[in-house]
Amino acid sequence: MMRFGFDIGGTNIAAGIIDENNRLIVKDSVKFPRGEGNEAVIAACAGLYRSILANAAISENDIKGVGVAVPGSVLPQKGIVVDAHNLGFHHTPLAAVLSDALHKPVELINDADAATLAEQKIGSLVGTSTSVMITIGTGIGGGLIVNGELFRGGRGNGTEPGHMVLRNDGRLCTCGVKGCAEVYCSATRLCKDGEAFGKPTAKDVIEAAKAGNEQALALFREYVDDFGSYIASIVNLLDPERIAIGGGVSGAGSFLLDPLREDVARKCFFETCPEIVVASAGNDAGIIGAGLIVS
Ligand code: BGC
């Protein structure tokens, strides 16, 4: 049977239908109704669900269930989003409420875990037994494949590699702690620091660095230094076979990956480093991974 996946982000809610071969056969998105409350989010999800089914002429009866990826910690067994700071969800019983609205069973997953599952099934992590996916966007998310399975935390809370502390008493993170990796290695860091010299997006900073702009190059080098320290720590912790880097910043390709690989090789404990590659399941990895968890 087919499965339905949602990827709820702070800007857009994207969703689609996954067929029996794990292919996304139809998708669409709507704006995340920021600041309008949880009911508005549920209404937006329900509207998107119905319009995707109607446009694809697929009956609700052909949908086995619904998976939902959210940018935060979830308790999958209880169907609760514990904290998704960028969505304003705190102890939100999302699975039950959405299940009532859609008349389907609903399962929750962290957005980066969903992307990791998609990478493992159809993307850059296919064939690995122990591997890591790190997504670099507004925030930093990540997922771990351990012994061929997505590792969802020892106590069921999931994993939050974006909130490993990189600097004591560093810049304040949205989670309330100072110095998280997210503050130093996300696209948001490039945007914030780039603003100071008129390059307010990560893309602007990267393009300017490529063109040899001194300020952009200095910022980019500092960014790679931070990012390298972060990835080297992950390598030391897990000794993974491969690390996939996804999210908007990974679009910089070898301009980012080449110096990053060198930096990680310098800092990691082992004689050799794991492969570091760009994620390949694309922007829809969250929707696909959400669909994949439907049991
Ligand atoms: C959240 C993670 C999420 C990541 C990417 C972080 O701020 O804590 O749960 O995976 O952003 O959206």
Pocket test of ligand 1: the residue of 94, 140, 180 to mutate, having most ligand atoms within 8 Å of its CB, is 140
Mean pLDDT value of segment 187-196: 97
Mean pLDDT value of segment 142-155: 95
Q: How far is the CA of 89 from the centre of ligand 1 (A)?
A: 12
The predicted model scores a pTM of 0.95
Paired sense of beta strands 73-75 and 80-84, if any? antiparallel
136/82 same-domain check: no
pLDDT of residue 121: 94
- Give the count of beta carbons closer than 10 Å to the beta carbon of residue 275: 13
Query: 186 CB under 6 A from ligand 1?
Result: no
pLDDT of residue 151: 96
Q: What is the CATH number of the domain that holds 31?
A: 3.30.420.40
Residue with tokens 């940018």: 71
Mean pLDDT value of segment 43-55: 98
97/131 same-domain check: no
pLDDT of residue 65: 98
pLDDT digits (tens, 9 = 90+) for 16-43: 999 999 999 999 999 999 999 999 999 9
Mean pLDDT value of segment 178-194: 97
* Residue 55 CB-density burial (10 A; 0-12 exposed, 13-18 middle, 19+ buried): exposed
Domain that holds residue 97: 2-114+284-292
Grade residue 157 by pLDDT with cuts at 50, 70 and 90.
confident
pLDDT of residue 236: 98
Q: Is 158 a domain residue?
A: yes
99/131 same-domain check: no
| b/e per residue 150-168 (b: at least 16 CB within 10 A) | bbbbeeeebbbbbbbebee
pLDDT of residue 156: 83
For residues 153 and 157, give the distance between their C-alpha atoms in angstroms, rounded to a whole number.
Answer: 6
178/89 same-domain check: no
C-alpha of 18 from chain center: 19
130/272 same-domain check: yes
> Do residues 71 and 8 make contact, with C-beta atoms less than 8 angstroms apart?
yes
154/106 same-domain check: no
> Do residues 79 and 65 make contact, with C-beta atoms less than 8 angstroms apart?
no
Q: How far is the CA of 158 from the centre of ligand 1 (A)?
A: 11
How many domains, the chain? 2
Query: 160 CB under 6 A from ligand 1?
Result: yes
101/151 same-domain check: no
Grade residue 198 by pLDDT with cuts at 50, 70 and 90.
very high
272/174 same-domain check: yes
pLDDT digits (tens, 9 = 90+) for 70-90: 999 999 999 999 999 889 999
108/37 same-domain check: yes
137/67 same-domain check: no
Q: Give the three-state DSSP class for 119.
A: helix
